[in-house]
Structure 1
Amino acid sequence: MSGPFLSLGVLYLVQGFPYGLQSGLLPVLLRSQGLSLSHIGLTRALYLPWLLKFLWSPLVDGVFLRQTWLVLSTGGLCTCCALCSVLPLQDTFTPLAWLLLLMHILSSMQDVALDAVTVAVLDKEQLGLGNSVQVVAYKLGSVLAGGGALAVLHLLGWRGVFLLLSLGYLLATLCALWSTTLREESRCHGNRQSCGPALRLPDVVRGVVTAPGTVWTAVYVLVYKLGEQGSLSMVPLLLLDHGVSPAALGFWNGILSLGFSIVGSVAGGFLLRKGRRLHLLLRKLLILRVSCLVLQTFLLSSLGKDGGSVTVFLLLTLVLQHFLAGAVSTITFTLMMLCTQQAHKGLQGSHYSLLSSLEVLGKVVFGAVSGILVDSLGVSSSFWLFIVLSCLPLLHLQRLPSSLH
C-alpha cells in the first residue's frame, strides 16, 4: 500500500459508505417497521445519481482539478453524515432518504474524479492490484457502514454511528487534500485542460462508444450481476421473515459475508497477477456462481420445514455468494479499465464513467424490481428466473473481442 495505492484506497473506502448504509442498514430498518418487499426494493431509486454520472463527467473533467472535486465532494459527504446524526431513529425515513440521495450525488461526483485518477496513474501491470485495492476498500467501507453499523447500533446509538462515519469522511478529505499522488495527477490534468476547449457531450459520447471493445463491455456489465443481485437482495429479507434477528443478519450478511467478499476480491487480483487468462477466470467463477444459486433455490423451497439447519445452510450460501461476487467484481473492473485504456486519453474519465454507470444500472434496476418479482411470482419461480439471468454473462463471454484478451 505505497505510492498511489494508499490514497486511492482511503478514498475508495469512504466511497462505500452510502452503499453500505442503504443496502445493509436501511432495508432491515424498514422491514422491521413493516414495509413490504416491493416498497423496500423501490428505495433503490436513490441510486439514480450513479446512473446519471456520465452526464456530468465532462464537467468534472473540464472544470476545476480532480483533486479539488475530491476534496469538495468528500467534505460534503462528511457534512451529510453529521446531519444524519441529529435525526431521530423513529419516523426518520423521509429526511434520511433525502440525505442519502444527496450522499449518492456527492459520492458519484467523487467516483468520476477518483476513477479518472486511477486510470491515469496506474499502468497495465498495476491494474490487477489497483482493482483489488479499489474493490476491497469499497467493500470494506460497505461493511463498516452497513453490517457494522447495524451490529453496533444498539451499543453506540444512531448519533454515535453517524458521527463515526462523519469522522471517516473528514480523515478522507484531509487525505485528498494532502495526497502527493493526487496533486501530481491534477497538475498533469490541468496542463491537458489548458491545451484546448472541452469537448461537447455529443462529441464525448461519440468518442466513447467507438473505442475498441466498448459495446461488448457495456453489454457485459449490464447483465453480469442480474441474477446474483436478485438473490443477494431477497435472501436476507426472506430470512428475516422466518425469524432470523436483525443482529444475526448484520453479522452474517454484513460483516462475515462482505468480509469474504473482500477475500474474494483479493483472490481475484492475486490470480490476475499470476498471469491467468482473464476470460478463462471469469468463466470458471460464473459457473460456480450459477451452481451456488441453484443450491440456494432448493434450500429456499425447504425454508421453515426442517428446523434451523436450512437457515444455517442458506446463511453459508450467502457467504459463498459474496466471496464469488468479490472475485468476479475485481476481474470485471480490470476488464473495464483495460477497455478504457484503449480509448483516447482525453476521454478516459468519461469512458470509465459510462461503463461504471451501466454496471450500477444493471444492479440497481434489477434490485429495485426483485422484490416485486418475489411478491408476484413467488419465491421458487423468481429464483429460477435469477438462475436463467445468471447464465447470460456466460453466453456473452463466448464472444469476447480479441482486443480484450
Structure 2
Amino acid sequence: MNAKYAVLAMLYFVQGIPYGLQSGLLPIYFRTLGLSFTKISLSKVLYVPWVLKVLWAPLVDQYFSKRSWLLFTLYGFVLTCLACSLMAPETNFFPVAVVLLLMNFCASIQDVAVDAVAIQLLTQREIGYGNTIQVVSYKLGSTLAGGGLLTFLHHLGWQTLFVGLALVYVVAIGVTWNANLKLKVRFDPQHSWVRYRSLNPWILLQELLVVPDTLWTVGLVLLYKLGEQGAISMFPLFLLDHSFSPQELGFWNGIVAMIISIIGSSLGGYLMSKQGNPFSMLKALMVFRFFSLVFQTLLLVAYEDKKSVFEVAALLSIFLQHFIAGLVTTLTFSIMMQCAQKAQESLQATHYSLLATLEVLGKLVFSSLAGSLVDWLGFVGAFSVFLALSSTSVAYILSSSRR
C-alpha cells in the first residue's frame, strides 16, 4: 500500500475511537443503568467540539506544521484515556463526561489536520480511494471502541479498556513521528493579509462561501443524514427493550453492522474511482434509503418479542441501513472534498472543516432530539417523523440540477 494511504488510514482509525465510545458503547451502557432516552440523546452534547472545530481550523491552517498538530492531539488522547481509566462512571459520570469532552476536542483538532493532509496529498483520481480510506478507517476505529469493547467490557473492565486504548495512541505517536509525507509549504503566515483574514471571521466566511458549489454542498451535508440518524441510533434501543441483550447488540449492531457499513463505504469508494461523479449514484441511494426506512417503521408496528422471524427481520433492517449509510457517506464526503479542492490552497483545510462541521451539526442536532421524540411520541410516532425528515433530503437532491 502507498505510504500516504497507510498513514492516513492509521490517523483516521484512531480518530474514530472517541466517536465509537460515545455512539456505540455508552448509550447501551446508560440504558442498562436505567437512563431515559432523552438523557441518552442529550449525552451527545459531548460532541460539541466537532461543531465548533471551524473556529480553530484557521489556526491549524496557518500556524505550526500539520505534524505538530497531529502529535499534540495524539498526546492528548493518551492523557485522556489514562484519566478515564482512573474513574468509575457507574458512581459519578460527570468527571468522565469532562474527560470525554476533552477527548472530542483533541479529535476535532486532529480531524482538521488530517483532512488538510489528505486534501493536499490526494489527486483528483485518488479522491475516491482516499475517502474510502477515511470512512472505512474511521468506522473501524469506531467499531473497535463501540461494538468490540461493548462486547468484551464485562471481561476487560473499565480500567483495562482505557489503558489499552492509551497504548494504541502511543503506537500512533510513533508512526506519526516517523511518517514522511513530504507536505508542501503552502504559504507564508507572516504575510499581513493572512493574519488580517484570520482575525476577521466574516471575511473568511465570505471567501469560503464564494467557492463554487459551496452553498449547494452546505445544504446537502445539513440534510443528508436526517431521518437515517434517528433510525440508526434509536432502533437498537428499541431492540434492547424487546428481548435483545447488550452483548447481542454489541455484536450484531456494534460489530457485524459496522462491518457491513464498511463494505458499503468501500463499494462507494470503488464506484467513485470508476465513475468519478458521485452525484447520480447518490440520487438513487437516497431514494432506496427512504424505502428501507419505511420497512423498518413497519417492522416496529408489527414486532413481537422473542419471535425469530421478527428478530431476523430486525437485524436485516439494521444491516441494510448500515450498508446504505456507508455508501452514502463515502459519496457525500467525496463531494465535500471535490468542493474543498476548488478553494485556494490556503483555505482548503478550513473550507473542508466548515463542510465537515455542518455535516456533524446536521447529525448532532437531530440525534440529540431523537430520544425526546421517542419519549414523547413512542417509537412508531418518532419513526414517522424520521420518515418525513428523510424525504426532505430525497427531495433536495432530486430537485437539484447541480450536475
Instruction: Work out whether residues 127 and 273 of structure 2, in 8 Å CA contact, stay in contact via their aligned partners in 1.
Output: no
- Secondary structure of residue in 2 paired with 1:168: helix
1:241-268 Cα offsets, whole Å, 9 max, x none, are 1121000000011000011111101000
Residues 1:394 and 2:394 aligned together: yes
1:15-50 Cα offsets, whole Å, 9 max, x none, are 000110001111111111111001101111111110
How far is the alpha carbon of 1:305 from its aligned partner? 5.8
**2-structure distance, mates of 1:343, 1:135:** 22
Which residue pairs with 2:128 in the alignment? 128
Residues 1:193 and 2:192 aligned together: no
TM-score, normalised via structure 2 length: 0.96
Residues 1:20 and 2:20 aligned together: yes
Which residue pairs with 2:74 in the alignment? 74
**1-structure distance, mates of 2:306, 2:238:** 16
1:27-79 Cα offsets, whole Å, 9 max, x none, are 11111111100110111111111000001111111221111000001111111
How far is the alpha carbon of 1:121 from its aligned partner? 0.9
- Greater shift after overlay, 122-131 or 342-351? 342-351
Which residue pairs with 2:142 in the alignment? 142
1:160-197 Cα offsets, whole Å, 9 max, x none, are 2111211111111222221101xx21x524x5435553
Cα distance, 1:360–1:92 mapped onto 2, change above 3 Å = same
- 1:202-351 maps to which residues of 2 (within 5 A)? 202-275=202-275, 277-304=277-304, 307-351=307-351
- Secondary structure of residue in 2 paired with 1:193: coil
Aligned partner letter, 1:254: G
Cα distance, 1:305–1:151 mapped onto 2, change above 3 Å = closer
Residues 1:378 and 2:372 aligned together: no
Residues 1:356 and 2:366 aligned together: no
Instruction: Work out whether residues 283 and 397 of structure 2, in 8 Å CA contact, stay in contact via their aligned partners in 1.
Output: yes
**Large movers: runs of 4+ above 6 Å:** none
Q: Structure 2: where are the runs of 5+ without partners?
A: none
Instruction: Work out whether residues 223 and 393 of structure 1, in 8 Å CA contact, stay in contact via their aligned partners in 2.
Output: yes
- Secondary structure of residue in 2 paired with 1:180: coil
Instruction: Work out whether residues 85 and 160 of structure 1, in 8 Å CA contact, stay in contact via their aligned partners in 2.
Output: yes
Aligned partner letter, 1:167: L
Instruction: Work out whether residues 89 and 96 of structure 2, in 8 Å CA contact, stay in contact via their aligned partners in 1.
Output: no
**2-structure distance, mates of 1:285, 1:7:** 30
How far is the alpha carbon of 1:92 from its aligned partner? 3.9
**2-structure distance, mates of 1:400, 1:295:** 26
- Greater shift after overlay, 382-391 or 69-78? 382-391
- Secondary structure of residue in 1 paired with 2:2: coil
Instruction: Work out whether residues 76 and 106 of structure 1, in 8 Å CA contact, stay in contact via their aligned partners in 2.
Output: yes
Instruction: Work out whether residues 116 and 349 of structure 2, in 8 Å CA contact, stay in contact via their aligned partners in 1.
Output: yes
Instruction: Work out whether residues 283 and 398 of structure 2, in 8 Å CA contact, stay in contact via their aligned partners in 1.
Output: no
**2-structure distance, mates of 1:278, 1:90:** 45
Aligned partner letter, 1:320: L
- Give the fraction of aligned pairs with identical amino acids, expressed as a percent: 44
**1-structure distance, mates of 2:144, 2:330:** 20
Aligned partner letter, 2:328: V
TM-score, normalised via structure 1 length: 0.95
Which residue pairs with 1:170 in the alignment? 170
- Greater shift after overlay, 269-278 or 63-72? 269-278
Aligned length: 399
- Secondary structure of residue in 1 paired with 2:324: helix
**1-structure distance, mates of 2:249, 2:108:** 28
Instruction: Work out whether residues 243 and 306 of structure 2, in 8 Å CA contact, stay in contact via their aligned partners in 1.
Output: no
1:317-363 Cα offsets, whole Å, 9 max, x none, are 11111111111100000000111111121111110000000000011
How far is the alpha carbon of 1:2 from its aligned partner? 1.1
Which residue pairs with 2:9 in the alignment? 9
